[in-house]
């Protein structure tokens, strides 16, 4: 009972130290508010309201039809300009794309010739330029084919019915916001526990703890539960108030079930933070070490790219990372509405990995404390 009381009061001490650290508090609030909102509202991978102008020198039914094919949300309503305005408008950056239909465009197409449409692209807007050129080519090809066939569609022997499950409108912001919350849970848990131990060492308070009747296990447990609970509370508030409330991203599954999985994940990542803090000797060293560890964890765990697309060796190695199992269960619960009967293997894997990391961190922590004595 005395040990539990010691762990509880040490955790309260960690909260007080965190409350006085305004920079760390700002990082927590930023990570689960502005960072999540920006990840969902700015979607560079999707063409959205791209500015386009059109020079129609043909003024035929075909060119008119093609002009009408450019509409929101991919493009703004096209502006009709003259050919002499192309260079000034592109130089001023008013339009990313300027299409020029040459005279006799429809006549040449119907005669079986291959007329050329000039597309001017502002390549300084790299992502829009890359995606927009492909969109424009597909739109023009589709309209030209439909016009040349006289509006008659060619019947295919097989009819394909596409049904997008879990995200019918293919809204990418639904994915970006939730994945950002998942990534920030990992990042903040490692940073907070690692910084808490480094802060004790830099301020000299770790020596005060050593002369008290406290064991390394109690000190480590206090940091794990206190920092883990902070991340869990802030992430749940972000998920409910910001993601579901403000951004109206639908959550298909059980949020409490997700939080149970997050708690198991935090058990592993907070232990990783303490382990790295025993290796680093200062806060800058800890920051560099976290970058080296965090980047591979986030990039190779299935959050950025599908896990199945990675080499088999990488997949095998990343099975030992808690982020692999956490991202899998989080996406299954939040996106697909999976229950415990589906994700329980991931829960067991997180518990096992967390126990292993905790044991390794405790062993390293005891050695570092013994070296201070």
Q: What are the residue ranges spanned by the domains of the chain? A: 2-42+169-372, 52-148
Predicted confidence (pLDDT) at residue 311 exceeds the cutoff of 60: yes
Q: Which residues contact 82 (CB under 8 A, 6 or more apart)?
A: 55
Q: In the chain, pLDDT over 90 holds for what percent of residues?
A: 36
Predicted confidence (pLDDT) at residue 8 exceeds the cutoff of 90: no
Predicted confidence (pLDDT) at residue 15 exceeds the cutoff of 80: yes
DSSP 231-253: HHHHHHHIIIIIIIIIS-----S
Nearest to 345 by CA among 358, 359, 326: 326
Using DSSP's 3-state secondary structure scheme, residue 121 falls into strand
pLDDT digits over 60-81, tens only? 999 999 999 998 888 889 999 9
Q: Which residue has the higher pLDDT, 215 or 371?
A: 215
Q: What's residue 58's pLDDT?
A: 92
Q: In the chain, pLDDT over 70 holds for what percent of residues?
A: 91
Predicted confidence (pLDDT) at residue 155 exceeds the cutoff of 60: no
Classify domain 52-148 at the CATH class level.
alpha beta
Predicted confidence (pLDDT) at residue 275 exceeds the cutoff of 80: yes
Q: pLDDT band at 321, cuts 50/70/90?
A: very high
d(CA 345, CA 322): 13
Q: What's residue 365's pLDDT?
A: 86
Q: pLDDT band at 267, cuts 50/70/90?
A: very high
d(CA 281, CA 286): 7
Measured in whole angstroms, the distance separating CA 155 from the mean position of its chain's CA atoms is: 41
d(CA 21, CA 126): 40
Nearest to 353 by CA among 235, 270, 292: 270
Q: Which residue has the higher pLDDT, 207 or 302?
A: 302
Q: What's residue 264's pLDDT?
A: 94
Instruction: Please state the rounded mean pLDDT for residues 266-292.
Output: 90
Q: pLDDT band at 211, cuts 50/70/90?
A: low
Please report, for residues 14, 200, 203, 213, 358, the alpha-carbon distance to residue 208 in angstroms, rounded to integers and kept in the order given.
Answer: 14, 9, 10, 10, 23
DSSP 172-215: HHHHHHHHHHHHHHHHHHHHHHHHHHHHHHHHTHHHHHHTSS--
The tokens of 111 are what?
């005669």
């Amino acid at each position: 009972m005395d040990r539990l009381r010691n762990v509880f009061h040490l955790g309260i001490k960690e909260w007080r130290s965190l409350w006085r650290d305004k920079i760390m508090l700002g990082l927590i609030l930023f990570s689960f508010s502005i960072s999540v909102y920006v990840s969902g509202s700015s979607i560079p991978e999707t063409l959205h309201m791209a500015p386009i102008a059109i020079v129609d020198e043909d003024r035929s039914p075909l060119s008119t039809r093609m002009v009408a094919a450019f509409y929101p949300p991919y493009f703004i309503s096209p502006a009709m300009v003259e050919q002499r305005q192309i260079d000034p408008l592109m130089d001023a950056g008013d339009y990313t794309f300027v299409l020029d239909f040459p005279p006799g465009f429809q006549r040449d197409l119907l005669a079986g010739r291959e007329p050329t449409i000039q597309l001017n692209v502002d390549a300084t807007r790299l992502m829009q330029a890359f995606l927009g050129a492909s969109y424009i080519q597909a739109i023009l090809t589709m309209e030209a084919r439909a016009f040349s066939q006289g509006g008659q569609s060619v019947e295919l022997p097989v009819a394909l019915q596409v049904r997008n499950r879990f995200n019918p409108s293919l809204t990418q912001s639904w994915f970006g916001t939730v994945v950002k919350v998942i990534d920030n849970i990992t990042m903040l848990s490692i940073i907070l526990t690692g910084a808490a131990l480094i802060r004790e060492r830099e301020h000299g308070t770790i020596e005060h703890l050593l002369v008290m009747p406290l064991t390394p296990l109690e000190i480590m447990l206090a940091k794990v539960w206190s920092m883990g609970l902070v991340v869990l509370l802030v992430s749940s508030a972000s998920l409910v108030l910001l993601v579901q409330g403000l951004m109206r991203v639908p959550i298909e599954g059980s949020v409490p079930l997700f939080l149970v999985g997050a708690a198991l994940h935090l058990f592993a990542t907070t232990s990783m933070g303490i382990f790295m803090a025993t290796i680093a000797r200062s806060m800058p060293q800890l920051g560099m070490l976290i970058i080296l560890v965090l980047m591979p964890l986030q990039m190779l765990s299935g959050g950025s790219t599908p896990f199945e697309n990675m080499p088999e060796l990488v997949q095998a190695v990343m099975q030992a990372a808690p982020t692999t199992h956490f991202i899998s269960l989080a996406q299954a619960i939040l996106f697909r509405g999976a229950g415990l009967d589906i994700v329980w293997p991931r829960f067991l894997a997180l518990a096992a990995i967390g126990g292993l990391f905790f044991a390794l961190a405790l062993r390293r922590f005891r050695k570092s404390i013994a070296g201070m004595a």
